[in-house]
Structure 1
Amino acid sequence: MNRNKKIIRNLAVSFIAFTCTTLLVGLTMILIVEKTLFSATFLNKAAHQSDYYSELTKQINTQIQDFGLGSGIPAEVLKDSVSSQQVQKDFEQYTTQAYYGNTLTIEKEPFLTQIKAPVMAYAKDQKQSLTAESEVAISNFAERSYEAYSDFIKLPFLPTLGQKIQLFASNLTLFKVVLGSSFVLLLMLIIYLLHWWWHRLIRHLSFVFGGGGLMLIIIPALILASGMIDRISITSKPLYQLLTTYLTNSLMAFIVVGGAFLMASALSAIFSQIRRKFS
């Protein structure tokens, strides 16, 4: 092969390798976003990690106690109105439905009964007779508690996000097929052009994975290093911890996958040198 043909071949292979890198990054980004930001399971894991359920339970019980104090009910009577397990169950049901663009109504009657029970028991212990007026007051208190509980459980932005996710999800499969097929075809083309020089083929695969790894790592790493996520302005401490953990974990997923690509690149480079030495 003359010099000009070698130059053209090398330029062609380099361009194809760069295109493969771009396709690989695009496909990987879609898969990561699908498994993190588009996943209710990922959000619920972030809730566990950020201790969201216990912190939210404290806020809910404090709010119900405040309502009770306004109605003459001692705070001690309502200190354990809802449990962390109940909050977790309702929140996970809500997020699962919201990510599908649906709305979830928390069961009302069981909750009202749950709130009324300790108040009724307290009145009985105090030997207080329940009049029609006091029963109405207790019912109103339970209704207010239910509304407050529902507001705490539901994240206002999630249903809208879920609807957008469902609109975009219908195109995800097409994107994955197009990017994946294009990547495989170009990879096969590289193999065809370099199949006589295995050390060069492996070296170009090293470039593909190395470039992909760097693209996946750099921007998420810069965002994390800048502290941008930590500066999110949210007044609710549990919600702040949840969202910062959720976003941080999502960016870390890019970095972890990028790191795996860099490792694959390094191993390919080493193997390429070994092949070249013994070829």
Structure 2
Amino acid sequence: MQKKLVSLYQGLITIMMIMVLFLLSALILTRQTYVSSEYLIKTAEEINYYEETAQNINQSFQDIGMASGISKDGLEQVISKDQVKKDFDGFINASFKGKAYEVNRKEIENEVNQAVQSYAKKTNKKITQENEQAISFFLEKTSESYDQALRLPLVPTIGLRVAQFKNQIVKLIIGLLLVLTLLMGLQYFASKRRLHIMLRFVAYANLSTGLLYFLSAIVLKYFNPVHRLSLTDKNLFDLVTTYVTGTFSWLLVLGLIFIVIGSIFAILSNSIRTRLIKKSRRRELEKKKGYDMFYHQKNVSR
């Protein structure tokens, strides 16, 4: 009965170790990905988000220009990919720090104004005082359109929460490391201070955590609800889905790492156990030889 209780106790500690290992590694993964502005920026680069966004912005400028009597040719490539990258990266970095980002609208208006002036010279159209007012209104609309195109919905709100959460992640990681150390100590004493038994349960915990990460990767790959988001902007849809599913390879790597660590602990546990068995057998053999020698001397003396 006592042996069963000890086994149950060891099993519960192992389950708790699995939970702590999974949460600990998940927090580290989250710190490197979902709450990192660099990760979102890297994702944007991978899917060519800047170029697509620049094309969409230029298209919206052309649409606004056509309403003002400016042909599409007059507003081709007004906004560059580098300009979009500079402002988008600034917006993301500021948002993930819980700060506001202001686009330099004057700079955008100057770029568009140069394109309008070039178009007027190319088509031999004179800019009158009335046209100046229309151009001013047009420049204001284009800079406003540019600003809206760069700002991802909900990012400033999420970024504020992220900034608060990032301050707590390190504390949570340290806390979980302390809990893990405590659980390993409890497992050691529950194993009657036999290192190979404790290592075996540690191996179980690591192998199980690795399998959990493989399962998480499968769920993320094939049952991800993010793919069902109804976003009309394909460029934004690609960014959001890639941002969420981009951790797929990380999950596989983490799973593999835990499997390898678990296997090492299992091999080490088995090695220590084998050594102890050999040592025990050697002692029994030496004890038996000593007894036989004593028995033989006793018979000779008789």
Structure 1 and Structure 2 fold alike (TM over 0.5)? yes
Gaps of 5+ in 2: 277-302
Is this contact kept in 1: 2:220–2:245, CA < 8 A?
A: no
Q: CA deviation at 1:205?
A: 1.5
Structure 1 residue aligned with 2:226: 229
Superposition RMSD in Å: 2.1
TM-score by length of 1: 0.90
Q: CA deviation at 1:103?
A: 1.6
177, 180, 186: which one aligns with 1:180: 177
Q: CA deviation at 1:218?
A: 1.8
Q: Distance in 2 between matches of 1:198 and 1:258?
A: 25
69, 76, 95: which one aligns with 1:98: 95
Give per-residue Cα distances to partners, 1:137-180, cap 9 Å, x unaligned: 12211111111111110012101111222333343333223222
Letter in 2 for 1:259: L
Q: Distance in 1 between matches of 2:122 and 2:54?
A: 27
> In the alignment, does 2:22 pair up with 1:29?
no
Structure 2 residue aligned with 1:264: 261
> In the alignment, does 2:225 pair up with 1:246?
no
Q: CA deviation at 1:193?
A: 4.8
Structure 2 residue aligned with 1:69: 66
123, 128, 133: which one aligns with 1:131: 128
**Larger CA Rg, structure 1 vs 2:** 2
Q: CA deviation at 1:89?
A: 1.1
Is this contact kept in 2: 1:49–1:245, CA < 8 A?
A: no
Is this contact kept in 2: 1:50–1:241, CA < 8 A?
A: yes
Q: Distance in 1 between matches of 2:125 and 2:192?
A: 91
172, 194, 198: which one aligns with 1:197: 194
182, 194, 214: which one aligns with 2:211: 214
Structure 1 residue aligned with 2:49: 52
- For the residue of structure 2 that corresponds to 1:12, the secondary structure is helix
Q: CA deviation at 1:63?
A: 0.8
Q: Distance in 1 between matches of 2:258 and 2:192?
A: 23
Is this contact kept in 2: 1:202–1:271, CA < 8 A?
A: yes
4, 11, 18: which one aligns with 1:14: 11
Q: Distance in 2 between matches of 1:144 and 1:31?
A: 43
State the structure with bigger RCO (CA 8 A, min sep 6), 1 or 2.
1
- For the residue of structure 2 that corresponds to 1:113, the secondary structure is helix
Q: Distance in 1 between matches of 2:183 and 2:268?
A: 22
Q: Distance in 2 between matches of 1:249 and 1:175?
A: 24
The change in CA–CA distance for 1:195 and 1:45 in structure 2 (over 3 A counts) is farther
Gaps of 5+ in 1: none
- For the residue of structure 2 that corresponds to 1:38, the secondary structure is coil
Equivalent pairs counted in the alignment come to: 276
Letter in 2 for 1:133: E
TM-score by length of 2: 0.84
Q: CA deviation at 1:21?
A: 1.6
83, 107, 113: which one aligns with 1:116: 113
Is this contact kept in 1: 2:20–2:176, CA < 8 A?
A: yes
Letter in 1 for 2:185: M
